[in-house]
Amino acid sequence: WWKSVFKVGTVHAPLFIEPTGMTKGQIYVPGVHLCRYFVAPGAGKAVPPQSRYFIPDSRLHHGRDNTIMIFDEHGAAPSRARLVYDVDAPALRA
């Protein structure tokens, strides 16, 4: 299990997590199950097609601390994982 705290400002752009360096497991934001992810088997070779996971704006506390918890089945550390805003995400444009 890995846990971190992050803040989001007042921008309401689509936010994604990219679990680079992870294998497979589950993500919780803030304390509520967000999704399962599978980006690589235990050996670490990438598995397409999904490499980023959407965090709904309704789950975030703007201007306050947000907690993200990650469980990786093979114990991979999220040292290369990152949160990314994507204002050009085609499926999320109004």
pLDDT in tens, 17-61: 999 888 999 999 988 999 999 888 766 677 777 888 999 988 898
Q: What is the pTM of this model?
A: 0.80
Give the bridge partners for 18, in sequence order: 82
Torsions phi, psi for 85 (to 5 deg): -85, 140
The pLDDT tens digits for 57-76 are: 888 988 889 999 999 999 98
Q: What DSSP state is assigned to residue 31?
A: S
